[in-house]
Amino acid sequence: MNNNLREILIEKYIKEDKSIILIAEEFGICSASVYNYLKKYKIKIKSLSYSHRNQISFFKGKKFSKEHRENLSKTHQGKILSKKQKQKISKNNSRYWAGKKRPKLAEKMKGHIVSEETKRKQSLIRGGTGIPHENADYPAVFCSIKKDILKRDNFICQYCGMTQKEHFKKYGRNIEVHHIDYNKFNCEESNLITLCHKCNIRANYNRDYWYAYYKYITENLK
């Protein structure tokens, strides 16, 4: 009996390519029972994407309102994707573009105007003070002294204590060096301090407080 049931399941589920739901309806049992039998007889369960391959997506052809898109954007703000999720998104993108010609970035961005507010945010994200493109023209001396400052501070953020290893793991880049008086051309050792990305951005607000705070720290460094 068991062998007969296994053969029937193979015939219906594998050869005839019927879904668990259709098999359950045919024999007048619940789909959970069919699923359990498949597991019991070690018949490989089809993936959900394979089972739904011929179904038309509910969202196909639908257009979301501007308000709905904004709400979706707010819902996902602040979410951190795991490495596995990023790999899955990358894999799906590769599948979408398979055999297609990707548009060149220059063509895609043609006619696109970046607002001053966006430029300000981009500067802050990169550890700047909010002035667009200010990070592009640091003096050459800063690049050479930066390593010395990092060594002096043991590659540790002088506010929260984050290490270089932790910083690279979280942000994917090296820990940063901050200009205490916000003048990027003042590259004296006493005006430079090691900060993590988050603390560096925080220092761009309430500047008088952070200037005094980090000045005190550098003056008391041994």
> What is the rounded CA–CA span in Å between residue 109 and residue 18?
47
The pLDDT tens digits for 169-222 are 888 888 999 999 988 889 999 999 999 999 999 998 888 889 998 988 888 765
> What is the rounded CA–CA span in Å between residue 24 and residue 30?
6
The pLDDT tens digits for 58-111 are 666 777 788 888 887 777 777 777 888 888 878 777 777 677 776 666 666 666
> What is the rounded CA–CA span in Å between residue 192 and residue 112?
37
Domain ranges across the chain: 2-48, 122-219
- Quick one: CA dihedral 108, 112, 118, 123, positive or negative? positive
In 3-state terms, the chain is what percent helix, strand and coil (to 5)?
A: 55, 5, 40
> What is the rounded CA–CA span in Å between residue 199 and residue 74?
24
The pLDDT tens digits for 43-58 are 888 876 666 666 666 6
Q: H-helix or E-strand containing 177?
A: strand 176-179
With cut-offs at 50, 70 and 90, classify the pLDDT of residue 126.
low
DSSP state of 221: -
Q: Which two tokens stand for residue 211?
A: 């200037």
- Does the pLDDT at position 1 exceed 60? no
> What is the rounded CA–CA span in Å between residue 163 and residue 196?
8
Q: H-helix or E-strand containing 26?
A: helix 20-27
> CA of 38: how far to CAs of 13, 17, 23, 25, 92, in Å?
9, 14, 11, 16, 29
> What is the rounded CA–CA span in Å between residue 40 and residue 13?
14
Q: H-helix or E-strand containing 72?
A: helix 66-76
Question: Residue 164: what pLDDT?
Answer: 92
Report the interhelical angle of 31-40 vs 20-27 (nearest 10°).
Answer: 110
